Amino acid sequence: MGKIQIAMVAKPVRRARFAWRAGAALMVGAVAALLTPAMADTGPRRIVSLNMCTDQLLLDLVPPERIAAVSYLGTDATLSAYAKELQQFKKLRGTAEEVLALEPDLIIAGEYTTGATVDLLRRVGQNVLIVPMATDFDGMRATVRQIAAAVGEVARGEEVLQHFDDRLRAARSTVASRPTALAYQVGSFVSGPESLLDAAMTAAGYRNLARELKLGAGGRLPLEQLLTSPPDLLVLANASDDFRTVLADNLRHPALQQAMRRRPSVHLPMPYWMCATPKIADAVEILASMKATGLAYHAPHHATVRAAERPQ
């Protein structure tokens, strides 16, 4: 997973999506097979995570002494909401050799983790849990429960999800109207259906304008089209100074800067939405607070939210 997150606009076949969700409960039960008899009561004690997103989910579910190592991307503050907290662990580049040297009793990998590494680890008899990368809140809940079952922390998983749901309920705006919002990214990508930012904007009480626009290849929205059909709230999913390449020229364009002085906007750093973790509630709270105070459809305003300013 790189530093540039392209818009997740692909629409899976409805039948396939239903089957994935229907199988979530079966997945939770199936992971119990990963536990050896010695783990039955206490759960695995030397857990290795090979994915930035599972790094963060794991930290929510087990105490630090049960984590043997995490991915190096998990400690990147530009990508990870738990970068500081994950610094205490050994950081891996994802090779099978470095994983085996730690003698783990459970290895957690994302579905897009290096296939060769995962295949080799399985061939030598390692317990490997593959976690699908969710693109909505229901998928995130299923993922939390899957990992919680594998590490023997089912009750803790439910506590984490209850806290997440409580935050969503508390953030929900009582304003009946649903102003439009658009998450605009580096390279002129926007976040369409089946994306975490779409889920966050919807939960905060907005209509995702990307659902109503005709988008270009890969989910791109030309700057000209954005300026002629602007949303009530422009959500900058990347900051213009995050990338020093021409790919971010759309975020530095004078016309966009001028438009942002006239209309409300907010910058949500990548750690808010890069991974499907309960920390996405931070983004919902920020978006909902702007709607509740009328900033989404009144006086021009731009808010920049930095990682250090995240609601706790």
Confidence of residue 2 (pLDDT cuts 50, 70, 90): very low
Per DSSP bridges, beta strands 180-184 and 90-92 are: unpaired
Nearest to 195 by CA among 233, 160, 237: 237
- By the 8 A CB rule, do 291 and 179 touch? yes
Tokens of 64: 């630090």
Write b or e for each residue in 128-155: b if 16 or more Cβ atoms lie within 10 A of its Cβ, otherwise e.
Answer: bbbbbbbbbbebbbbbbbbbbbbbbbbe
Indicate whether 23 pLDDT > 80.
no
Which pLDDT score is estimated for 11?
Answer: 37
Q: Report the b/e string of 258-270 with b at 16+ CB within 10 A.
A: ebbeebbbbbbbb
Residue with tokens 């090779």, as numbered in its chain = 95
Which domains does the chain show, CATH number per domain? 14-168 (3.40.50.1980), 175-309 (3.40.50.1980)
In single-letter form, the type of residue at position 221 comes to L
Percent of the chain's residues with pLDDT above 70: 80
Lowest mean pLDDT across 17-26, 58-67, 146-155: 17-26
Q: Is 203 exposed, middle or buried (0-12, 13-18, 19+ CB in 10 A)?
A: buried
Q: Which residues contact 152 (CB under 8 A, 6 or more apart)?
A: 35, 39, 41, 42, 43, 44
**What is the predicted pLDDT for the residue at 177?**
81
Find all residues with CB under 8 Å of 200, minimum gap 6, and list them.
272, 273, 280, 283, 284, 287
pLDDT band at 303 (very low <50, low <70, confident <90, very high): low
Where is average pLDDT lowest: 183-192, 244-253, 268-277?
A: 244-253
User: SS3 string of 53-113?
Assistant: HHHHHHHHHCCHHHEEEEEHHHHCCCCCCCHHHHCCCEEECCCHHHHHCCCCCEEEEECCC
Alpha carbons 40 and 38: distance in angstroms, whole number: 6
Query: Whole-angstrom Cα distance, residue 80 to residue 82?
Result: 5
CA nearest 157: which of 59, 69, 284, 65? 59
Confidence of residue 41 (pLDDT cuts 50, 70, 90): low
Q: pLDDT by residue (tens digit) across 88-122?
A: 999 999 899 999 999 999 999 998 877 899 999 99
Rounded mean pLDDT, 6-29: 41
Alpha carbon distance 291, 285 (integer Å): 10
Over pLDDT 90: what percentage of the chain? Answer: 59
In whole angstroms, give the CA distance from residue 29 to residue 50.
Answer: 22
Do residues 205 and 213 touch, judged by C-beta distance below 8 A?
Answer: no
Taking residues 152-164, what's their average pLDDT? 98
> 13 or 172: which carries more pLDDT confidence?
172
Q: Supply the pLDDT for residue 243.
A: 78
Q: Is the pLDDT of residue 70 over 90?
A: yes
> Would you state the pLDDT for residue 101?
97
Cβ distance 47 to 104 under 8 Å?
yes
